[in-house]
Amino acid sequence: MTTRRQFLLLAGGAAVSAAVQAELPPEIAAQRHAALQEAVRKVTGGAPVRTGRVKLDIPALIDNGNSVALSVEVDSPMTEAEHVKAIHVFTEKNPQPYIINAHLGPRAGRGRITTRARIADSGSVLALAQLSDGSFWSDSVSVVVTLSACSEDGLT
């Protein structure tokens, strides 16, 4: 006889496998991953990107991919000599990798931006900061999306 506990475990497992199937087909996922790499290279011009100094704040579990609040904070004194020039945010699984390119300067006072994004599918979200000395720093967060943006199109 199936106890209620066993039933719930089974039902939970079924829900998880359904979520896995909702992911992008591997070849499209690979294409989009390549598009992300290309977009990052366009910004950096091939310069090395180090992790650190950037903090991307985005919920790891996203109920609704149509509107996801995110903020990026870069550790910088924001002086004339040393400041954040730009903050770029990318996502791995959307049809296009770009979310926002923000241009700041020493007059910003603080290297921080906030916006709301659409995230199509579970994957990584990448924040990239360009500093005035020409260096690039990044932070990425792996997010799980339960209701995709563009879900009515079936993720294509």
Partner 1 sequence: MARVVVNVPKQARRGEILEIRTLAGHNMETGFRRKAGGELIPRDIITRFSCRYNGVEVFSAELHPAIAANPLIAFSTIATESGTLEFLWTGDNGYRATVAAQITVA
Question: 9-38: which residues touch partner 1 (CB under 8 A)?
Answer: none
Q: Is 152 exposed, middle or buried (0-12, 13-18, 19+ CB in 10 A)?
A: exposed
Stretch that binds partner 1, among 30-38, 49-57, 67-75, 133-141 (CB under 8 A): 67-75
* Beta carbon of residue 60, minimum distance to partner 1 (angstroms, whole number): 18
Residue 80 phi, psi (nearest 5): -60, -40
Query: How distant is the alpha carbon of residue 117 from its chain centre?
Result: 9
* Beta carbon of residue 68, minimum distance to partner 1 (angstroms, whole number): 7
122 binds partner 1 (CB under 8 A): no
Asked whether 86 and 129 are in contact (CB, 8 A), the reply is yes
* Beta carbon of residue 55, minimum distance to partner 1 (angstroms, whole number): 15
Q: Is 111 exposed, middle or buried (0-12, 13-18, 19+ CB in 10 A)?
A: buried
The conformation of residue 107, written as its DSSP 8-state character, comes to G
Stretch that binds partner 1, among 2-10, 55-63, 101-109, 135-143 (CB under 8 A): 101-109
Which residue ranges make up the site for partner 1 (CB under 8 A)?
Answer: 66-69, 71, 91, 94-96, 98-105, 107-110, 112-119, 149-150, 152-153
